[in-house]
Amino acid sequence: MKRSIVITLAAALVGGLGFSQSEDSAWTCPEGFAGQTLNVYNWATYIAEDTIANFEAACGVTVVYDTYASDDDMLVRLRQGNPGFDVVVPSDVVATLMIDEGLLMEIDQAAIPNWGNLDPTFLDLPFDPGNRYTVPYQWGTVGIGYNTERVGEVDSWADLFAYDGPVAWLEDTTAVFGVALLMNGFDPNSSDPNEIRTATRFLVDNGGNVVYIARDDGQELLLRGEVDMVIEYSGDIFQVMEECECDTYAYVIPAEGTNFWLDNLAVPVGAPNPELAMAFIDYVLDPHVGASISNYTAYGSPNRAALEAELIDPELAEDPGIYPSAETQERLFFAEQNAEREAQLFEAWDEVRIFIGQ
């Protein structure tokens, strides 16, 4: 059954003040970590430019920072055995699978004094009751980024599927199938084989304008003018809009509804330094550090203390594409996943890619 997620964001609608950088943080590293190494595995372009350097300086440690293009890449690698990562950043969908498969260590909340800074809205969610394995990091939506000069006004998935011009889809099987199921009047989390077949046919029939299936770089295709519209994560498009400082690009949460997601910090089984991982997580939950990350990524912050202290850039905090209105939130849904449904969608996705030539 579809879940409507209504988020209490009144504190997010800040005014007037400038926004913080992580060097303003008063966070103090626990003793005993000097000279150690932390290995972080995260999405690309998903942390502020100074976050890692400031943590290294605060703790006297070295951080080896690797990136991946998609959740699936990270999951495949961890399923083969942890090669030495201490911190990973799974979405709610992939976290569900990792928990079920025993790939994550339990979080030591007692070692994270800044835990209380988190907004309870993002805690104790169905994919991880009690947050035994995950810590909220960033949140956002999957929507449409587009070139306003080429496309004009866009407000729906129907606009994207009917567009007579180059389009890119996102390499996010769960999100794209959620949209296809929704467009056919089904639960976006359906695992019914007949409904998934209908969604597969819908994507094949409406994929004639797709020139790329982008691995989390659709915003670059848009920026280079290779496509006019993209299915993308909200923050990636807002980063392009900020860099451009123009009105050429826009992001919309489609009228039909879309996927609301929560990415999380987690410690994989076999982590060489879980204690330092807990210190890093505590550091990220500092209000100044958390605000600095969200101000850079242009994604929603789950850090209530940062929002209440008005550390989020007002232009971001007041943008309904990042912090949606209560009315819009009613049309958002969390994606749900299990191993059986994952296999169904991957098989269907392969069929879609073959038929649309991607």
Instruction: Decide: 173 and 200 in contact? Cβ < 8 Å.
Output: no
pLDDT one-digit tens code per residue, 48-59: 999 999 999 999
Query: Percent of the chain having pLDDT more than 90?
Result: 82
Whether 10-139+263-324 shares its CATH topology with 140-260+331-356 is answered yes
Architecture in CATH for domain 140-260+331-356: 3-Layer(aba) Sandwich (3.40)
pLDDT digits (tens, 9 = 90+) for 93-128: 999 999 999 999 999 999 999 999 999 999 999 999
Tokens 């199938």 identify what position?
Answer: 177
Fold that domain 10-139+263-324 belongs to in CATH = D-Maltodextrin-Binding Protein; domain 2 (3.40.190)
CB 127 within 8 Å of CB 5: no
What is the per-residue pLDDT for 25? 76
Pick the more confident residue, 45 or 197: 197
Separation CA 98–CA 91 (nearest Å): 10
Give me 199's structure tokens: 């969604």
Question: Per 3-state DSSP, what percentage of the chain is helix, strand, and coil (rounded to 5)?
Answer: 40, 20, 40
**Start-to-end CA span in the chain (Å):** 31
Do 189 and 178 meet the contact criterion of CB atoms below 8 Å apart? yes
The per-residue pLDDT for range 287-332, each reduced to its tens digit, is 999 999 999 999 999 999 999 999 999 999 999 989 999 899 899 9
Using the CB atoms, write b or e for 185-218: b if 16+ within 10 Å. ebbbbbeeeebbebbbbbbbebbebbbbbbebbb
Residues in the chain, total: 358
pLDDT digits (tens, 9 = 90+) for 237-261: 998 998 888 899 999 999 999 999 9
Tell me how far CA of residue 115 lies from CA of 61, 62, 245, in angstroms: 22, 24, 35
Sequence ranges of the domains in the chain = 10-139+263-324, 140-260+331-356
3-state secondary structure 321-357: CCCCCHHHHCCEECCCCCHHHHHHHHHHHHHHHHHHC
Residue 245 exposed, middle or buried by CB count within 10 Å (0-12, 13-18, 19+): exposed
Q: Please, what is the average pLDDT of the chain?
A: 91
Q: What is the rounded CA–CA span in Å between residue 342 and residue 54?
A: 38
pTM over 0.85: no
Residue 337 pLDDT: 84
Q: Please provide residue 118's backbone torsions phi and psi, each rounded to the nearest 5 degrees.
A: -75, 145
